[in-house]
Amino acid sequence: SYANLERSVQLNIDCDLLAKAGLKRFHKQRHIPPEVLPHETVIIRVRGIKVLGAIGPPLRNEVSRLNMRQFLASKGRLSLQGFDEVDWDAMEVKMASTPDQHRIWITKHVSGFCGTNHMLNKRSSSNSTICPCCKDPDIIENTLHQLHCKDLQRVELWENSVKSLKKWLTFKQTSPLLLIGIIRYVSGKGVDTYSCVENNTHDLRILSVSQDMIGWNNFMEGKISKRFQMIQQQHYSDIDSKFSSHKWSSDLISRLLLMIHKQWIHRNNVVHKRRKDGLKHKEGIKVKRKIEALCAEGENMLEPEDQYLMDAPLECIQEWDGIKKKIW
């Protein structure tokens, strides 16, 4: 028995019992994160999220995120606080599921490098900076102008896009308060802040502050507040819906970018539409001016063998098809 053992042996037994009791207390008191696996000695987290695969991609994403955060703030496009409010996870899902050519267009648009007249003027000063649709001489046509153009056809296209967005939000069982807020915010074209929208709950007031940090132009480019997803998730839970709030957020970004893309397609149709002679509008104007200039100079400016070109009057030449005009 224990009493008949030597003192040194008794002390050894006492130490074993106390050590086992201490180990049990330690395991009961210690909080072990649920993602820790047995015998996992090292855990790497990026922004508090455990890395499950190769460390390279999440590290590169984080470095890029920090650089972009500083870059957008330095350009005045998005404040540091506004950047932190954006649902970048939804944007990543949207871009990952987007075809390459459309993804290129999105990148060119949000960076301001689409072929607007403002950008074409930088390449060649002979290009006008005026919008080909509204033709307002006081407006420089850049990417931001695409959603603010006052051309009647583009305004009608915008209104139809807003109706399509509302129809989609309804189909996706969007929270009624979010639906009203989003439609009013989009329709306002940046004149009103999101705080001007009805925000009679604590969550909506937080959303309003968050989205106002981001701004309307950024919202239309897909930089939506992460608070939208949180409120929509709670709504889906309340109505016992099987829809995913994360999918809802990425799809909302797609819908907003689609509204811009429709405006861009319409703009390009105006720029590249064909005249009745078959020439593009811009090219036709250049050919017309060249023909008028040559006719004004007269046949004396031509070589004798080319003077027959002046046999046809200007009015007749202007009725020719485009290819014949260019050959002339």
Q: Poorest-confidence range of 183-197, 209-223, 229-243?
A: 183-197
> What per-residue confidence (pLDDT) applies to 296?
77
Yes or no: say if 114 and 143 are a contact pair by the CB < 8 Å rule.
yes
Q: Poorest-confidence range of 48-57, 143-152, 203-212, 240-249?
A: 48-57
Yes or no: say if 232 and 174 are a contact pair by the CB < 8 Å rule.
yes
> What values do phi and psi take at 45, rounded to 5?
-120, 140
> What per-residue confidence (pLDDT) applies to 126?
81
pLDDT of 270 > 70? The answer is yes
Tell me which amino acid residue 290 is. Answer: K
> What values do phi and psi take at 193, rounded to 5?
-80, 170
Cα 209 to Cα 202: distance, rounded to the nearest angstrom: 11
pLDDT of 218 > 70? The answer is yes
Q: Pick the closest to residue 227 from 248, 211, 246 (CA basis).
A: 211
End-to-end CA, the chain? 121
Helices 152-171 and 245-272, interaxial angle, to 10°? 160
- How long a stretch of residues is the chain? 328
Q: Output the CA torsion sign for 186, 188, 190, 194.
A: negative
pLDDT tens-digit readout, 87-101: 999 999 999 999 999
CA dihedral 161, 167, 169, 175 (to 10 degrees): 130
pLDDT of 33 > 70? The answer is no
> Does residue 49 sit in helix, strand or coil?
strand
> What per-residue confidence (pLDDT) applies to 32?
62
Q: Pick the closest to residue 276 from 324, 327, 328, 319 (CA basis).
A: 319
Q: Over the chain, what is the mean pLDDT?
A: 88
Distance of CA 210 to the CA centre of its chain: 17
Cα 55 to Cα 302: distance, rounded to the nearest angstrom: 72
Q: Pick the closest to residue 63 from 47, 79, 52 (CA basis).
A: 47
pLDDT of 317 > 90? The answer is no
Cα 245 to Cα 93: distance, rounded to the nearest angstrom: 13
Q: Output the CA torsion sign for 222, 226, 231, 233.
A: positive
pLDDT of 295 > 80? The answer is no
Yes or no: say if 151 and 133 are a contact pair by the CB < 8 Å rule.
yes
212/42: higher pLDDT: 212
Q: Pick the closest to residue 153 from 130, 133, 129 (CA basis).
A: 133
Yes or no: say if 323 and 277 are a contact pair by the CB < 8 Å rule.
no
Calculate mean pLDDT across residues 305-326.
Answer: 73
Q: Poorest-confidence range of 28-37, 69-78, 109-118?
A: 28-37
Q: Quickly list DSSP for 278-294.
A: SSBHHHHHHHHHHHHHH
116/297: higher pLDDT: 116
> What per-residue confidence (pLDDT) applies to 282?
65
Yes or no: say if 224 and 211 are a contact pair by the CB < 8 Å rule.
yes
> What per-residue confidence (pLDDT) applies to 263?
95
The model's pTM: 0.74
pLDDT band for position 302 (cuts 50, 70, 90): low
Calculate mean pLDDT across residues 151-162.
Answer: 95
DSSP-derived secondary structure letter, 113: -
Question: How deeply is 120 buried, as exposed, middle or buried, from its count of CB atoms within 10 A (0-12, 13-18, 19+)?
Answer: middle
> What values do phi and psi take at 208, rounded to 5?
-60, -45
Cα 291 to Cα 284: distance, rounded to the nearest angstrom: 11
